[in-house]
Homo-oligomer: A and B are copies of this chain.
Amino acid sequence: MKALVLFSGGLDSTTCLALAVDKYGADEVLALSISYGQKHTKELEAAQRVAEYYHVKLQTLDLALIFADSDCSLLQGSTADIPKTSYAEQLSETDGKPVSTYVPFRNGLFLSSAASVALSHSCEVIYYGAHSDDAAGNAYPDCSSAFNDAMNTAIYLGSGNQLRIEAPFVSKTKADVVAEGMKLGAPYHLTWSCYEGGEKPCGLCGTCRDRAAAFAANHIADPAL
């Protein structure tokens, strides 16, 4: 294998998968999907569908026990509700801290797990779909460009210079991600983003709002709706 894609079944990582398959071919790409006790396990079903669409091997990991003591509102163990406002509104009430759906160091843990798995398969690159909208205002500090640079250095050095991160959208917006994915024909109709595990996307949580805005900015309808 050449590339591992950290893969949630959402819009950003599906676009990463499209890029990796385009560059390396499906046989050289491994998708890694991580269960972590999230309320929206529906994204894992979406990951399965998208991986099948691209004929790439999908590996799954369950890391939920690591977050057993977290009170993050995104997790099944939490009694807190997922906020129904935009990230900007949420940040006005967090006193400089991340939003309540920030899962403690989740992306660092995911990238590190991806590095361990990638090295076991001799991959030379990890694709990671963080983008600048999620990092804005430090809503998700583990999506920022500075965080990504540090993790990339850690993974490159800590692997004995064998592995690096490719984060193609880290300085781009979610609207840019959609534009890129449309060019590549990414199967957005198979993806899932909403934080709630309902029958249909709620349309109100932070990620539903961001997804809708990204499609609107590209003047196209969300094919998953």
Contacts and interface: CB of A to CB of B under 8 A. Distances in A.
Interface string A127-159: 000000000001001101011001101110111
Interface string A106-128: 11110111011101110000000
A105 B98 contact: no
A199 interface: no
A167 to B, nearest CB: 13
A69 interface: yes
Number of copies: 2
A32 to B, nearest CB: 10
Question: What is the predominant secondary structure among interface residues of chain A facing chain B?
Answer: helix
Contacts of A107: 158
Contacts of A109: 109, 112-113, 115-116
A73 B138 CA distance: 41
A203 interface: no
A66 interface: yes
Nearest to A143: B158
A54 interface: no
B154 A158 contact: no
B102 A66 contact: no
B120 A112 contact: no
Nearest to A159: B105
A146 B144 CA distance: 21
A11 to B, nearest CB: 22
Given A119-B104, A151-B154, A158-B142, A65 B61 contact: yes
6 contacts: A68-B120, A69-B117, A105-B155, A108-B116, A141-B157, A151-B154
Interface of A: 61-62, 65-71, 96-98, 102-109, 111-113, 115-117, 119-121, 138, 141-142, 144, 146-147, 150-151, 153-155, 157-163
